């Protein structure tokens, strides 16, 4: 009786393999018109993997990176501490990134996902077709110096054309280029507020107000200047236009 109980899983496994020759541990390969497509369990595994990497992808290879860094520089220049909060800045950067990346996402869906779903392309062909719009977007903002750096670090052969740059070297190059651009914009944003701080500090010291921190005195003037020039409209408009 015990021997039969121990052998039952083996018989069940052999029967399952006989009825499902294209399956392995629940991972199936179903033939369609174009090529073999992944079964539902493997699709779920891949979907969960993509969802795990999605925050890093969203923060790294989209305009989200430049926008968040610039907005945090702006908040520090204004001296408003935690106003607006991090949630507000991240939400604003997310919506702006969706607006900028909408054409690229549409091209990826039309060139990669739709043909794959219809069975016209294999997985490799669909990945190649879908990565082309993303590579075009990244190439527009990645500096040649940064691309060359990561090509050397990866020991990859020199590409003949920009389209031949591997995406594994293009993505970190884009991150470095965006960080440099964001720091340059942040430095420019700091200048007018720095002038206000210097003027207020010199005035308070000349009149002998050494007990009152100059930052507390200059904060209302910086906020008033930012509101009078409609600073949010100027900063957000300039950031979005810089990607077109």
Render pLDDT for 208-238 as a digit per residue (tens, 0 to 9): 766 777 777 778 888 888 889 888 999 999 8
Q: Which segments within 138-242 are labelled E, that is strand?
A: none
Name the nearest CA neighbour of 78 among 194, 229, 163.
Answer: 194
Among 53, 54, 70, residue whose Cα is nearest residue 179: 70
Check residue 11 and give its pLDDT. Answer: 37
What is d(CA 169, CA 148) in angstroms, rounded to the nearest whole number?
9
Q: What integer pLDDT is reported at residue 39 of this predicted model?
A: 64
Q: Residue 37: beta bridge partners? A: 30
Q: Write down the pLDDT at residue 129.
A: 80
**Lowest-pLDDT range of 53-57, 77-81, 88-92, 207-211:** 207-211
Tell me which residue of 61, 241, 67 sits closest to 139, measured CA to CA: 61
**What per-residue confidence (pLDDT) applies to 38?**
58
What mean pLDDT comes out for the span 188-217? Answer: 80
φ, ψ for residue 80 (rounded to 5)? Answer: -95, 15
Q: Report which DSSP code applies to 111.
A: I
Q: 3 or 242: whose pLDDT is higher?
A: 242
pLDDT on residue 210: 67
| pLDDT, mean of residues 89-108 | 89
Dihedral angle computed from the Cα positions of residues 202, 207, 209 and 215, in that order, rounded to the nearest 10 degrees: -30
What pLDDT band is residue 135 in, cutting at 50, 70 and 90? confident
* pLDDT interval class at 83 (50, 70, 90): confident
- Length of the chain equals 244
């Amino acid at each position: 009786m015990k021997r039969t109980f121990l052998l039952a899983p083996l018989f069940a496994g052999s029967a399952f393999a006989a009825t499902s020759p294209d399956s392995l541990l629940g991972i199936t390969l179903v033939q369609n018109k174009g090529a073999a497509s992944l079964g539902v369990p493997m699709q779920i595994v891949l979907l969960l993997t993509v969802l795990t990497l999605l925050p890093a992808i969203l923060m790294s290879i989209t305009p989200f990176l430049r926008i968040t860094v610039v907005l945090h520089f702006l908040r520090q220049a204004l001296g408003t501490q935690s106003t607006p909060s991090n949630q507000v800045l991240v939400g604003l950067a997310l919506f702006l990134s969706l607006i900028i990346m909408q054409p690229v996402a549409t091209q990826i869906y039309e060139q990669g996902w739709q043909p794959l779903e219809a069975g016209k392309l294999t997985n490799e062909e669909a990945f190649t077709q879908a990565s082309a719009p993303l590579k075009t977007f990244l190439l527009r903002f990645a500096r040649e110096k940064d691309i060359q750096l990561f090509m050397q670090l990866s020991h990859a052969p020199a590409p003949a054309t920009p389209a031949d740059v591997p995406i594994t070297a293009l993505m970190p190059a884009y991150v470095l280029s965006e960080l440099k651009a964001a720091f340059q914009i942040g430095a420019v944003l700091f200048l007018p507020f720095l002038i206000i701080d210097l003027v207020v500090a010199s005035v308070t010291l000349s009149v002998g107000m050494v007990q009152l921190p100059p930052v507390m005195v200059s904060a209302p003037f910086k906020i008033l200047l930012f509101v009078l020039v409609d600073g949010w409209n100027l900063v957000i408009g300039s950031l979005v236009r810089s990607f077109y």
